[in-house]
Amino acid sequence: MSGTGHVVDPATLLDRASTGDRVALARLLSVIERGDGPAVAVAELSYRKETPFTVGLTGAPGAGKSTLTDGLITAVKGGWPAPEAEPLSQVGVLAVDPTSPFSGGAILGDRVRMGRHALDPAVFIRSMATRGHLGGLSLAVPDAIRLLGAAGFALVVVETVGVGQMEVEIASAADTTVVVVTPGWGDSMQANKAGLLEVADVFVINKADRPGVREARRDLEQMLDLARPDAWRPEIVATVASAGDGIDDLWAAVARHRVHLRDSGLLAARRTERLARQLRRVLVARTEVHIDEIVAGEEFGTAVKELAAGELDPYRAADRLLGA
Amino acid sequence: MSGTGHVVDPATLLDRASTGDRVALARLLSVIERGDGPAVAVAELSYRKETPFTVGLTGAPGAGKSTLTDGLITAVKGGWPAPEAEPLSQVGVLAVDPTSPFSGGAILGDRVRMGRHALDPAVFIRSMATRGHLGGLSLAVPDAIRLLGAAGFALVVVETVGVGQMEVEIASAADTTVVVVTPGWGDSMQANKAGLLEVADVFVINKADRPGVREARRDLEQMLDLARPDAWRPEIVATVASAGDGIDDLWAAVARHRVHLRDSGLLAARRTERLARQLRRVLVARTEVHIDEIVAGEEFGTAVKELAAGELDPYRAADRLLGA
């Protein structure tokens, strides 16, 4: 058995993870995914440390997000581009699929995905698909981001499959949100165009070697013309991720957005807003647990019997069960 | 000012509604739609009285539900068919559109809908579209059904526009759920076929004067062959509501399902299950109100500041705010 194979307290595991012990880090992420008491202990440590800069990536399945993320990792390892030119010693990647029943145990998937980064000690990739308790992925992903920050990662990329409400919510819990489209994207994303527009800080038109790039760009520009008059107009970057084309442009656009966030004071403001939303979610999750306990209890059964007998109404019954 | 124009307590209004005062009944329904304290007082009275037999009708927009409901009202007024042959002195209709921003005030709509029943004292039709507080339509509709029961209606028809999750949830909070399709329906409802199949007690193929009735029936039969092996196999009735064709068949199918529910003991069991689900919803709604209060409070702001400063995590913060 390895040293981290035993039951070890979260603080010790986090110390080990901070010095590059990937097994310790993986174990902490598994704890976060379970979402029970120990997960809270991990959160207690993580949220007291540095917040990593987070880039969220989302887009329809088949838009080439994995390949794009793969390329982005290489760019990231070169550090933030000039004029900042800050080094980035390591990058954490969370690959989130809300529709998949597989969780952190999806090791084969991780290995395949890691591709050329598989043996790179500066890169840590983890799949997240479910959470056992407490609020699901919309709480587990921010917790995992903060854990990576606490373990010393200054940059985390969160890649989410899909453009539904939940996927967009997860991807947009980032400092910079990248929405990936392809030529001819309009039809496939019609349902959630407004939602995507609202969260996007950077648009990528991937597979830009295919016909329709000019039309896709025009569509996006028109949408942006009609949308929020904001200090930041989302940049539109064309890429061919499979050939590595445009990746540096994407990284440069992300870097410009980061500078904008920092210089405008928006970075802190948006992070505070995010924390408030997260706290609300924890409150909801906690009360849901409480309600499940009530529903499983004997008094609930008694109340339902009285309801069925016409001796009670649901509102008085709820008051009684909540002890109000 | 009319007698019911003043502030009158719910018990007095219900007494008046029970003797046929439609203005009093309409006022009580408006109180239920607001969903605040007085709504709870109305519920307290309603849930202690008789539960009406409830028929839910749902289907895609354009399936002809309004015309079908209109025809059904006429059939209902003839009473339950033989061999039961019980009279039904009046029928209540709740027309629910979860997607519409208009509420009970949609009087023009009601007038137009009522059509030939507009001046019939045995028929009461009401539109419901929103609820101000406490759990939305999924609580307001059952409350309205029980109010109609308390006011002396032995039968209530709930017509819901749409086949999404919420629409089906509302329509299926009935003793007998009728799902209305049209020839060639398959494609338009593909997204929620399983959900519709699960709740349907009777299928109606309306607009059966159009081509494709045989195929629609075959599709439904095939789905039913694959589905739950249950004591009740949903009947399939073909109608041309605009010509009044098949309405009596539909009413007879509803009546047979009612007899099945009663004789199998399922009626009481399903109503008890429904009350349990409703009680759970009230618990959720009540805690949501509580969470909104917490989020609006000063302590929430303090907690968020501590979160932003890295002095706290969301879980400890939630515990503190919930006083745990």
- The CA distance from A40 to B244, in Å, is 63
| Helix (H) or strand (E) run with residue B199 in it | helix B193-199
- Judged against a pLDDT cut of 90, whether residue A21 lies above it is answered with yes
- The CA distance from B294 to B300, in Å, is 6
pLDDT at B46: 97
Domain extent listing, chain B = 1-48, 49-264, 276-323
Give the model's confidence band at B134: pLDDT under 50 very low, under 70 low, under 90 confident, else very high: low
| Helix (H) or strand (E) run with residue B96 in it | strand B91-96
pLDDT at A188: 58
- The CA distance from B126 to B206, in Å, is 23
- Judged against a pLDDT cut of 90, whether residue A230 lies above it is answered with no
pLDDT at B191: 57
- The CA distance from B136 to A13, in Å, is 46
pLDDT at B36: 81
* B289 interfaces chain A, CB cutoff of 8 Å: no
Model confidence over B4-29: pLDDT tens digits? 445 679 999 999 999 999 999 999 99
- The CA distance from B192 to A44, in Å, is 42
B11 CB-side CA count, 13 A: 2
**φ/ψ of residue A242, rounded to 5:** -65, -25
Chain pair A-B, CB pairs under 8 angstroms: 137
Query: In percent, how much of chain B has pLDDT > 70?
Result: 87
Under a CB-based contact definition with an 8 Å cutoff, are residues B76 and B68 in contact? no
CA angle B150, B152, B153 (to 5 degrees): 105
Say if the Cβ atoms of B313 and A276 lie within 8 Å: no
Q: Is the dihedral of CA A157, A162, A165, A166 positive or negative?
A: negative
Which fold, A49-264?
Rossmann fold (3.40.50)
Which residues does chain B have within 8 Å of residue A321's beta carbon, measured at their own beta carbons? Answer: 279, 283
pLDDT at A37: 85
Give the model's confidence band at A263: pLDDT under 50 very low, under 70 low, under 90 confident, else very high: very high
Q: Which of B282, B303, B311 sits opposite A279 (nearest CB)?
A: B303
- The shortest C-alpha distance from A210 to chain B (Å) reads 31
* B283 interfaces chain A, CB cutoff of 8 Å: yes
- The CA distance from B56 to B137, in Å, is 14
Under a CB-based contact definition with an 8 Å cutoff, are residues A148 and A14 in contact? no
Q: How are strands ordered across the β-sheet holding B91-96? A: B123-128, B91-96, B155-161, B53-59, B176-181, B202-205, B235-238
* A308 interfaces chain B, CB cutoff of 8 Å: yes
Give the model's confidence band at A1: pLDDT under 50 very low, under 70 low, under 90 confident, else very high: very low
From A25-29, A158-162, A292-296, the region with the lowest mean pLDDT: A158-162
**Which has the higher per-residue pLDDT, A189 or A87?**
A87
* B9 interfaces chain A, CB cutoff of 8 Å: no
AA letter at A85: A
- The CA distance from B125 to A17, in Å, is 66
Which residues does chain B have within 8 Å of residue A308's beta carbon, measured at their own beta carbons? Answer: 268, 271-272, 275
- The shortest C-alpha distance from A207 to chain B (Å) reads 30
Which residues does chain B have within 8 Å of residue A283's beta carbon, measured at their own beta carbons? Answer: 291, 294-295, 318, 321-322
CA angle A146, A152, A281 (to 5 degrees): 0
Model confidence over B187-215: pLDDT tens digits? 656 556 777 888 899 999 999 999 999 99
Under a CB-based contact definition with an 8 Å cutoff, are residues B42 and B28 in contact? yes
pLDDT at B142: 95
Model confidence over A191-203: pLDDT tens digits? 567 778 888 999 9
Whole-prediction pTM value?
Answer: 0.78
Say if the Cβ atoms of A279 and B304 lie within 8 Å: yes
| Helix (H) or strand (E) run with residue B269 in it | helix B266-296
Across the range B147-169, mean pLDDT stands at 88
What CA–CA distances, in Å, run from B60 to B64, B128, B239, B280?
A: 9, 18, 16, 28
Which residues have a Cβ under 8 Å from the Cβ of A228 and sit 6 or more positions away? Answer: A198
Chain B interface mutation, best of A282, A315, A316, A319, highest count of B Cβ atoms under 10 Å:
A315
Mean pLDDT for chain A overall:
87
- The shortest C-alpha distance from B171 to chain A (Å) reads 19
Hey, which bits of B168-324 come out as E strands?
176-181, 202-205, 235-238
Give the model's confidence band at A274: pLDDT under 50 very low, under 70 low, under 90 confident, else very high: very high
Token readout for A97 is 């699929």
Say if the Cβ atoms of B283 and A294 lie within 8 Å: yes
- Nearest-CA residue of chain B relative to A135? B315
- Judged against a pLDDT cut of 90, whether residue A241 lies above it is answered with yes
Nearest to A73 by CA among A200, A254, A262: A254
Beta bridge partners of A240: A245
- Judged against a pLDDT cut of 60, whether residue A107 lies above it is answered with no
* B41 interfaces chain A, CB cutoff of 8 Å: no
**Surface of B (190-229) touching A: CB under 8 A:** none
- The shortest C-alpha distance from A314 to chain B (Å) reads 5
pLDDT at A318: 96
Mean pLDDT for chain B overall:
87
Model confidence over A24-69: pLDDT tens digits? 999 999 999 888 888 999 999 999 999 999 999 998 888 888 899 9
3-class secondary structure, A174? coil
- Judged against a pLDDT cut of 80, whether residue B129 lies above it is answered with no
- The CA distance from B81 to B322, in Å, is 56
Under a CB-based contact definition with an 8 Å cutoff, are residues A101 and A33 in contact? no
Model confidence over B91-114: pLDDT tens digits? 999 998 776 654 444 444 544 555
* A42 interfaces chain B, CB cutoff of 8 Å: no
Say if the Cβ atoms of B314 and A287 lie within 8 Å: no
- Nearest-CA residue of chain A relative to B49? A310
**Which has the higher per-residue pLDDT, B118 or A110?**
B118
pLDDT at A144: 96
Note whether ipTM > 0.90 here.
no
- The CA distance from A196 to A177, in Å, is 10
